[in-house]
Structure 1
Amino acid sequence: MTMRENRLATKPGTDEPGWLTTGERVVYQGRMTVVERNVELPDGSRTRFEVDTSAPFAVAVLIVLPGDEIVLTRQYRYPIDQWIYDLPAGGGNLGESPIDAAIRECEEETGLVAGSIEPLLTFSPNPGRSSWLVHLFIATAVDEGTADLSDPAEQVRVVRMPLAELDALIRAGGIVDPTLLIARTMATARGHLPSL
């Protein structure tokens, strides 16, 4: 194995080389951050690739209340020009743990403090373009807290919905947020909720 092949290998002992980053620059920074990276491909050729590095990570919380009632958020999503149901969620801060970010985002968006919270899944929402992961949690006990909706672009409506109604919306194609769909699936897989 050559030095270059060794630097490009993603896992020791595999023959699946990755790309080597040789430089980068921020090409846009606003509500999101886009970095252009200079990369060397396994065959030695070079190219540039843009990556969304907007947050160190993101979090989302599926809140399940007694009686199989789900707490959702309803927000206008400008890129798709649509009001959608989704989960209390947001970006994590540098130095913040995913669970602390999840508890913070839950209270900021819903006014509820997660008292019993556990991880469901960590996944990449867009592995072809973004570098950050989403840490998905489930909360099964909450206390009253204080919502903080000081960002004018975040007009969050809190919705309490019976699980049967959510499932009917999913079956009808009325849920477009992938994190909510993944949370519903993982809650079933982990035994927290009945099958869809």
Structure 2
Amino acid sequence: MKKFEEKTIQTEQIYNGKVIHLQVDEVTLPNGKTSKREIIKHQGAVAVIPITQDNKIVFVEQYRKPLEKSIVEIPAGKLEPGEIPEVTAIRELEEETGYTTNELKFVTSFYTSPGFADEIMHIYMSDKLKPMEKKAALDDDEFIEILELTLDEAEKYMKENRIHDAKTNYAILYLKTLEMM
């Protein structure tokens, strides 16, 4: 038995969407009592920390409806079924920034919100960017602006809450640790 395991008694599918699936599980707790867990299932996502030749980080600014505001983020996107994260990373880099690369370095993976979702985020980095001759097309419902910022500028954006999501904050702190080594 896994430590503190909650055994599923029953699962009720609530919603199956394009990005997420919502289910409610009835579970038996370690003390024998029962409880309900609302769970979001997600196929996973990938983000890239793109660094230009002049040592700037490439970001995208886009409107995030759940937040009702625009924020500045590193390029990212969801994994397609059966797709390996490196393929997603390059696709999202090309679609969102107009850069490509032949060299990705795996940085880390983490669960974004383990209290209610199983989404795993894979982070890659590349400082070997090449501008694409012909920019890849964005998804039909994507509207973004590209920004290239120094690490100091990115930290300023964090303080101003213009950069305000976990993956991008992680990326900046990660680059800051590399700077200190």
Give the TM-score normalised by the residue count of structure 1. 0.82
Shift of 1:29: 2.3
Task: Say whether the 8 Å CA contact 1:120–1:183 is kept in structure 2.
Answer: no
Shift of 1:114: 2.4
Give ranges in structure 2 of 5+ residues lacking alignment.
none
Alignment root-mean-square deviation, CA = 1.7
| Corresponding pairs, count | 177
Q: What residue in structure 2 maps to residue 13 of structure 1?
A: none
After superposition, residues 14-93 of structure 1 pair within 5 angstroms as 16-30=3-17, 31-54=19-42, 56-93=43-80
1:41 maps to a residue whose letter is L
**Greater RCO (Cα-Cα under 8 Å, separation 6 or more):** 2
Percent pairwise identity? 27
Q: Does residue 147 of structure 2 align to residue 162 of structure 1? A: no
**Structure whose alpha-carbon radius of gyration is higher:** 1
Task: Say whether the 8 Å CA contact 2:105–2:126 is kept in structure 1.
Answer: yes
Q: Distance in 1 between matches of 2:100 and 2:10?
A: 42
Q: What residue in structure 1 maps to residue 95 of structure 2?
A: 108
Deviation string 1:27-66 (CA, Å, 9 cap, x unpaired) is: 0123432122222211122222111113x21111111112
Give the TM-score normalised by the residue count of structure 2. 0.89
Q: Distance in 2 between matches of 1:168 and 1:52?
A: 33
Q: Does residue 142 of structure 2 align to residue 149 of structure 1? A: no
Task: Say whether the 8 Å CA contact 2:72–2:163 is kept in structure 1.
Answer: yes
Q: What residue in structure 2 maps to residue 12 of structure 1?
A: none
Task: Say whether the 8 Å CA contact 2:90–2:100 is kept in structure 1.
Answer: yes
1:122 maps to a residue whose letter is S
Q: Distance in 2 between matches of 1:48 and 1:34?
A: 13
